[in-house]
A and B are shown apart, each in its own frame.
Chain A
Amino acid sequence: MVVFLARRLGLVLVTFFGITVFAFALIHLIPGDPVMLMFGERNVDPAQLDQLRAQLGLDRPLIVQYGLYVWHAVHGDLGTSLATHDSVMDEFLTHFPATVELAVSAMLIAVLVGVPAGIVAALRRGSTTDYSVMGLALAGYSMPIFWWAILLILLFSVTLGVTPVSGRIGITYDVAPATRFMLIDSLLSDDSGAFRSALSHLILPAIALGTIPLAVIARMTRSAMLEVLNEDYVRTARAKGLSPLRVVGLHALRNALIPVITVVGLQVGSLFGGAVLTETIFAWPGVGSWLIHGIARRDYPVLQGGILMVASIVILVNLTVDVLTGIVNPRVRQRR
């Protein structure tokens, strides 16, 4: 297990440095100049623009800028935002809980609906139920998130009036940001309606963001279940007279979940990507919308620091998933 972990950590370090090069290069390849964007069409003295560029360190050679970026990053300093002049790390930590809350909720929906849907489809293979579940999964996977999100708002918020349109909580609730997880902070507040308001604001964005992972998890669960249901040990369990619930829930599902855990880990990466669109539509002040604003403003420190943090989290989650898979499936942790 120690060797397994050591090998994985070595890979993490290499990946981390690869990401710094990739993120830095990609960001600087985007056309546009942050100082020019600050002033827009205004007729400003070019000398003043140059002075501002120098003030922001943008006149240095790229290799020097990269070196400084990596040097500061390994010391925990991600610089300051060109637009707001706030610390990038502080801004990330302010926005991150909102994304975690949304991503966890989306993943909960995806797992709690996707896994049972996949099991039912596998057990009723070839039936109308199977085709319906898989058809819906395909539809869910194919829909653009921003379109699906607007559709949900138009149906549930505007037409039916049963959910709010956007934001994290009703405007009338002034909840102190103790943890920045709105569900927790609203519970801690004195206002009894705050938690219900926070929950109602979370539903639509969580559904919108969770739809694609739900579809993937449903399909993966179905495939994994079908494979496992044909195994000898399942046949043996049935022959021994065990109840269908015990055969499926205890023997089949435990083994079928192994690839599903891996898929869940991989979906974390796509959740961050989907969060960018979901957060923009639902005015959810998370890391995704923060990065989108950073791109529009060419806020290099925000983009460099933000992408590094997001990548680090995705790496950490996948490392955790690898370790969990290793624990659950002994064959994985043994040397091949």
Chain B
Amino acid sequence: MLGALFSALQLGTALADSLVVCTEASPDALNAQLSTANTSFDVSEQIADRLVEMKIGGSDLVPGLAESWTISPEGLTYTFKLRHGVKFQSNANFKPTRDFNADDVVFSFQRMSDKTNPFYQSANGNFPEFVDLVAPNLASVDKIDDYTVAFKLKAPLAPLLPSLSMQPFSILSAEYAAALQKSGKLGALDQEPIGTGPFSFAQYDKDAVIRFRAFHQFWGEGGAQPDRVAKVDNLVFAITPDASVRYAKLRTNECQIARYPNPADLAAMRANPDIKVQEAAIAGTNYIRFRVDRKPLDDKRVRQALAEAIDMDNLVKAVFQGGGTPAASLVPPSLWGYDASLKPYKYDPDGAKKLLAEAGYPSGFTIDLWAIPVVRAYMPNGRRTAEMIQADWAKIGVTANITTYEWGEYLKRSRAGEPSVGMLGGTWDYPDPSEILLGFICNNPGNAAHWCNQTYTDAVLKANVVTNQDERAQLYITADKAVYDDIPLVRLADVKAYVPVRKNVEGFKLHFLGGQPFGGVSLGK
């Protein structure tokens, strides 16, 4: 009787032309200019485009709304030649009367930099990524002609191009903005966004569902960017905070892609005939780092001993459960600038004991070891990692007291340099090693290891100015070697990310930098 009652309720089923993605959280903003969160980047990735784009599933830059660009020899002027024939989307309140041109690029950056711009004020000047990554170096964005813009810098900024591929630097419609200003609805620029991307924004039911519709006038449909073209009529983000519930929805086909699965569910997902698990290496790094200005960690022999006392193969197997390989280079293999010649420190507890004795600690010592309290893309189990390190160090006479705090508090204290041995990491938002490597240069307030190595600092600062990518890659290799030799930190693992999808999902490529594109994804039979 219960079954009859339930079947009478006629459950909705997925339409053939709708792709439903179970996402893990709500976006802060529908326009990534206003946010630092990946959830907002995911929205802007579907709707809008950038001057340059990241290759999906890779870290190379490809032309976006700019077909080509040149950089002046002193690195202070970037001139972009813009694509012709690019159409903007329309919505209930706006229909564009012209194609994309230089005015849109100028507006998109002016609204973030000019305090007198009404759209700067409508967002309360809240453009965190622009302020952090581009604004300090940007002098102006100038229109040269309808299809040429020039970015003029106050000082060279080699990561500018990779930064511009991030979703917070999406190009908005100046014509839409003008229409909204006329009607007095300035907030709609960010709440009802339009762009030139493969999907147009349809509706956001707060904390529930975001709906997109295919935009068949997307410029990529002509063959310019085939892997971003919308292959379904409707794209839906079903916001589902709990990972177990996302998996349940995948099993019942209520969603066809379930992001950020529970690692504990992966085996069951692989065993399910209706589900396939896609994987890709993430652009992330993880490490334990030492306060090198604090005894006994100021002695490199001690740091080397601690590094060589960790059975990294065993740790990575236990913590990452097949999803990681022991690492050595601070830059991961998924990014250019990776040094494949560096190998993880050897596991040599006897050698480690000898080193400690040489350094004056034959009986070992006691130290605090911090553990990340939350699951991060680069660290599935901080507590377990710390426990395994603690057990390894106990064998050489080092007593590690595991310390942890609530995540916000952990970040605050970690940044302040409180841990002697801190655990942290990060994932890249754009394809440039500088994003994380700048954190370890001399006198950087964020350098919680208090490590100052001139070789490293010189290499990283030069790479921030030089614009030739091969030269920059060599500089990052030099920097990585300096880290490896001086041991201010011990890398843990290069990590994979997983996304389970229904068996009939075709064309999905896991992208590990910024927003995840769903163009190019279709549903087979």
Contacts and interface: CB of A to CB of B under 8 A. Distances in A.
Q: Do A and B bind each other?
A: yes
A39 B36 contact: yes
A283 B245 contact: yes
Contacts of B346: none
B248 A157 contact: yes
A168 B424 CA distance: 38
Contacts of A48: 128, 131-132
Given A165-B248, A170-B11, A32 B241 contact: no
Interface residues of A, number: 63
A281 B206 CA distance: 16
B251 A158 contact: yes
A229 to B, nearest CB: 32
A31 B406 contact: yes
Interface string A111-154: 00000000000000000000000000000000000000010011
Interface stretch (B106-114, B315-323, B439-447, B508-516): B439-447
A285 B36 contact: no
B471 interface: no
B29 interface: yes
A32 B410 CA distance: 8
B132 A45 contact: yes
A57 to B, nearest CB: 12
Given A200-B6, A289-B207, A170 B36 contact: no
A47 to B, nearest CB: 9
A298 B211 CA distance: 28
Given A37-B407, A157-B252, A283 B415 contact: no
Contact of B125 (A33, A55, A165, A199): A55
B8 A196 contact: yes
A165 B245 CA distance: 7
Given A32-B412, A281-B245, A84 B438 contact: no
B341 interface: no
Contact of B12 (A162, A169, A289): A169
Given A158-B248, A283-B238, A193 B203 contact: no
B209 A167 contact: yes
A210 interface: no
B426 interface: yes
B216 interface: no
A270 to B, nearest CB: 21
B444 to A, nearest CB: 7
Nearest to A170: B12
B10 A197 contact: yes
A23 B8 CA distance: 45
A177 B206 CA distance: 11
A281 B36 CA distance: 26
Contact of A172 (B14, B126, B207): B14
Interface string A154-189: 101110111111111111111001000000000000
B135 to A, nearest CB: 10
Contacts of A280: 241-242
A40 B129 CA distance: 13
Given A32-B407, A158-B248, A200-B9, A44 B242 contact: no
A101 interface: no
Interface in A280-320: 280-283, 285, 289-290, 292-293, 298
Interface in B196-244: 203, 205-209, 211, 236, 238-242, 244
B134 interface: no
Interface string A31-60: 111101111111111101000100100000
Contacts of B3: 160, 162
A9 to B, nearest CB: 34
A293 B207 CA distance: 10
A95 interface: yes
B245 A298 contact: no
Contacts of B28: 83-84
B12 A172 contact: yes
Given A37-B407, A164-B254, A200 B239 contact: no
A83 to B, nearest CB: 5
Of the four ranges (under 10, 10 to 19, 20 to 34, 35 or more), the interface on chain B belongs to 35 or more
B248 A36 contact: no
B452 to A, nearest CB: 16
A172 B25 contact: no
A33 B249 CA distance: 34
A336 interface: no
Given A43-B438, A170-B11, A153 B206 contact: no
Interface in B1-50: 2-3, 6-15, 18, 20, 25-26, 28-29, 34, 36-37
B425 interface: yes
A173 B208 CA distance: 13
B123 interface: yes
B385 to A, nearest CB: 16
In the complex, which of the residues A31, A156, A177, A283 has the most CB atoms of chain B within 10 Å of its own CB atom? A283
A38 B14 CA distance: 35
Given A41-B425, A171-B20, A197-B11, A282 B236 contact: no
A172 B36 CA distance: 31
A293 B208 CA distance: 13
A165 B249 contact: yes
A207 to B, nearest CB: 12
B254 A32 contact: no
A193 B12 contact: yes
B173 to A, nearest CB: 21
Interface in B77-106: none
In the complex, which of the residues A34, A94, A167, A290 has the most CB atoms of chain B within 10 Å of its own CB atom? A167
B124 interface: yes
Contacts of B429: 42
Nearest to B413: A31
A36 B26 CA distance: 19
Contact of A42 (B6, B18, B426): B426
B245 A171 contact: no
B408 A172 contact: no
Nearest to A83: B28
B144 interface: no
B71 interface: no
A172 B13 contact: yes
B485 interface: no
B407 to A, nearest CB: 7
A85 interface: yes
Contacts of B131: 48
Nearest to B211: A174
Ranked nearest first, the 10 interchain pairs of A and B with the lowest CB-CB distance are A170-B12, A32-B408, A162-B6, A31-B409, A43-B439, A285-B207, A200-B9, A43-B446, A41-B426, A285-B208
15 contacts: A31-B405, A33-B411, A36-B411, A42-B132, A43-B444, A43-B446, A153-B248, A156-B6, A157-B248, A158-B252, A166-B245, A171-B209, A200-B6, A283-B245, A292-B241
Interface of A: 30-34, 36-46, 48, 52, 55, 83-85, 91, 94-95, 150, 153-154, 156-158, 160-174, 177, 193, 196-197, 199-200, 203, 280-283, 285, 289-290, 292-293, 298
Interface of B: 2-3, 6-15, 18, 20, 25-26, 28-29, 34, 36-37, 123-126, 128, 131-132, 203, 205-209, 211, 236, 238-242, 244-245, 248-249, 251-252, 254, 376, 405-409, 411-412, 415, 424-426, 429, 435-436, 438-439, 444-446
Given A43-B436, A153-B245, A290-B207, 11 more contacts: A40-B411, A52-B128, A83-B28, A85-B123, A158-B248, A168-B208, A177-B205, A197-B10, A285-B208, A293-B25, A293-B26
